[in-house]
Structure 1
Amino acid sequence: MTVPASLGVSADEVAESTDVYTLQNQDGLVVKVTNYGAIIMSILTRDRDGNLSDVTLGHRTPSEYIEAAEKPYFGAVVGRYGNRIAKGSFTLDGETHTLATNNGENHLHGGLTGFDKVVWTVKSATKQSIELTYVSHDQEEGYPGRLNLSVTYTLNDQNQLVIDYRGTTDKATHVNLTQHTYFNLAGEGNGTILDHEVMLNADYFTPVDAGSIPTGELRRVTETPFDFTSPKAIGRDINAENEQLSLGNGYDHNWVLNKGVIPDELALAAVVYDPATGRVLTVSTTEPGVQFYTGNFLSGNLTGKSGKAYVRRGGFCLETQHFPDSPNQPEFPSTILRPGEVYRSQTVFAFSAK
């Protein structure tokens, strides 16, 4: 059953349609998923001493995600279009489509009731894998076409969480799904992520305007605070005097990944290392970009699942994606899906320690 958490449906009714599913591999790593928003509720990984801790921000139960006053997309699949579309509008095949504007004058993460706020159907679930499906109807949040989606989470014995997306449509539409987990490799609720060391496999990023919409420029990261081509602490340059950092309130930008000869091939996107615990997160993706977000709008008002406040910059996101506002920027890689085509995307979160 697919139940929108929207008009005419109470939070209690939605909660009754949700459940929590646990994946565990032979090394004891644990991933918990709920079918509300296809949310990753927790990921338990080992530190250099072999101790398991939850490294994702979020809530304890599906009901808490539904009822939370603030919804920063903890752990969710976001869409139909992850990130922003300028002024909530695009023209496709000569027809203009108007979307919800839920981020100033812009459309963000699918709108008022994006894929993070609906109940997905569990098609199959095993000890190490779960497939969830959702049907997004024609004109849902203003998007054309009936979109049939599936998201599969697989926790393999190489300590990789593999995320596979698939979709088909009956009308031309735009699709750009991403996973919005907030990580803190020191453990959920354990201070900021400013000491985490990050490498981003990207020589360019897409600068933005005051509304966080890309200007269209691909700017070199060289000699800017946006240069993560070699590992550096998140906090090293985050408060530097820089117009783009001021506009994003920190890092909240799309990096253009260095891809190989085959654009849709799985390629390295990022490596994050926490010196305190030794935990390492390696991200690979078939997507052309990644939004690196440093929890700039967490304020300490939200209390997490362990009872600790989520302070500003208490988590980071690596949202693998096509570029923001691609429907209005034809120079960017296309996000158009047409009837007869299959939308496919894969992202891999690999966990290790050193």
Structure 2
Amino acid sequence: MKLSAATTLFSLALATVPPPGPDGKYTLTAPGITAKFIPYAACITNLLVPDKNGTLRDIILGYDNASFYPVDPNHSDYGAVPGRYANRIKDHTYVLNGTRYFTEANDGNGTLHSGTNGWSHRVWNVSAVSNTSITFSITDVGNSSLGMPGTVMGSVTHSVSNSSWHTTIAAHAVDHVTPLMLTTHPYWNLDAFANPDTDLILNHTLSLPFGKRMIGIDENTESTGELPTVPKGDINDFWSAPKMIGASMGDARWVGNCGTAGGCAGYNNQWLVDRGSGEEEMPIATLSSGWSGIKWDLYSDQPGIVVYSCHWMGGGNQLKAAQGGKASNGFVRKDGCVAVEPQDWIDGINHPEWNRTQYQINGPGMPPFSSFIQYKFSTV
């Protein structure tokens, strides 16, 4: 029997893979980096790199107990691969080929990460694993997430090399057109909460060199269809020069900048990655901490990047044993972390005028979705 291109692409050999370690996690190591992963949400749970003094710091938020992720009452998509359609769908509805679909309203009146049975709530298969790489795969049948038709087959490969974490994501809708947009969802604190003066990330420095435009949002943080420019010196200006995440706290727009309905303060916004010719190989974001000296440069082929400065963290997420210091109470506080997510334009399926639907709709006969995300670590 001749296999279809989709089956050939995503049918990974049913070879025996080794079990996880005693902590329930798969550990990958390379010079300058150690990372751990679990099948739940295909997520990263630990990432250790040396700080400027050579001390190893676990700079990813997560839990020591691998079995806690599926039952976490504060489910924060820690380190996950959300899908099949990442981020928000306004008013939990969209139209595809003349048919209106309704998705789960799990974020006010909108849908976030495809609802409460999205890919970040699933246990993936472990298809291959080595000392430096692990591949997870998923078969997502139609309407297992409300309003998402057709079967999608996906795979995610995480790998580590010299001070680098690289992720490749691939997926294909095999029998019906459907929305498809994927990313990774790590939360960062480059000080591992050990800075004796603060356990927050407001003193982390961020650069978004191509972020001169944004997705406009309404009071509920849902897309308006506008694509506002970011003036130099604006609260959302990270393009003209790197600046600390908390540098604009005194701005009148700080409270409500990421949604006025709930008083969201800081950032939960998407910047567009408007690269020019010859700029494709440059990092789309850089994050660093002066205290730890840890820095990463983010590379991706995605045309947008979401930054969320953890306003909604309510102090219920416990730190790992290796994290924390004098300024920490052992839990993640508001502004205690930052998520940085390369992805396509939020809610593009509801804005055909953006011409993003060709990248956000997939189906039989169409090229598979594919993307890469890479963090390169160094010290400053």
Partner of residue 199, structure 1: 207
Q: Is the 8 A contact 1:197 1:272 kept in 2?
A: yes
What amino acid sits opposite 1:234 in the alignment?
I
Partners of 1:135 and 1:260 lie apart in 2 by: 37
1:1-354 matched pairs, under 5 angstroms: 19-27=24-32, 29-141=33-145, 142-157=147-162, 159-170=163-174, 171-188=176-193, 191-201=199-209, 202-222=211-231, 223-229=233-239, 230-242=241-253, 243-245=256-258, 247=260, 248-261=264-277, 267-306=282-321, 308-332=330-354, 333-334=356-357, 335-340=360-365, 341-354=367-380
* Contact 2:48–2:57 (Cα < 8 Å) also in 1: yes
Greater fraction of residues in strand: 1
* Cα deviation, residue 153, structure 1: 0.3
SS of the equivalent of 2:135 reads strand
Q: For structure 1, which segment, 278-287 or 181-190, has the greater mean C-alpha deviation from structure 2 after superposition?
A: 181-190
Structure 1 counterpart of 2:217, one-letter code: V
Q: Secondary structure at the match of 2:218?
A: coil
Bigger Rg over Cα: 2
- 2:284 aligned counterpart, secondary structure: strand
Alpha carbons 1:267, 1:285 under 8 Å: kept: no
Matched positions, count: 335
**Distance between the aligned counterparts of 1:84 and 1:241, measured in 2?**
26
* 8 A Cα contact 2:219 2:259, kept in partner: no
Q: Secondary structure at the match of 1:220?
A: coil
Change (3 A) 1:189 1:338: farther
State the TM-score, normalized to the length of structure 1.
0.90
4+ aligned runs moved over 4 Å, structure 1: none
CA-based RMSD: 1.9
| Alignment check: 8 A CA contact 2:217 2:259 kept | no
Structure 1: any 5+ residue segments left out of the alignment? 1-14
Q: 1-side partners of 2:112 and 2:257: how far apart?
A: 19
Give the Å deviation of 1:267.
Answer: 4.7
Q: SS at 2:297's partner residue?
A: strand
Distance between the aligned counterparts of 2:331 and 2:373, measured in 1?
29
> 2: CA distance between counterparts of 1:182 and 1:267?
22
1:112 Cα deviation after fit: 1.2
**Contact 1:161/1:350 (8 A) holds in 2:** yes
| In structure 2, C-alpha distance between the alignment counterparts of 1:99 and 1:319, rounded to whole Å | 22
Residues 288, 172 of structure 1: CA spacing in aligned structure 2 closer, same or farther, 3 A cutoff? Answer: same
Is the Cα contact below 8 Å between 2:258 and 2:269 reproduced in 1? Answer: no
Gap regions ≥5 residues in structure 2 = 1-19, 324-329
How many angstroms does 1:207 deviate by? 2.1
Which 10-residue stretch deviates more, 242-251 or 274-283? 242-251
Structure 1 residue 249, shift from structure 2 partner: 2.6
Question: What amino acid sits opposite 1:317 in the alignment?
Answer: A
What displacement does 1:246 show? Answer: 5.2
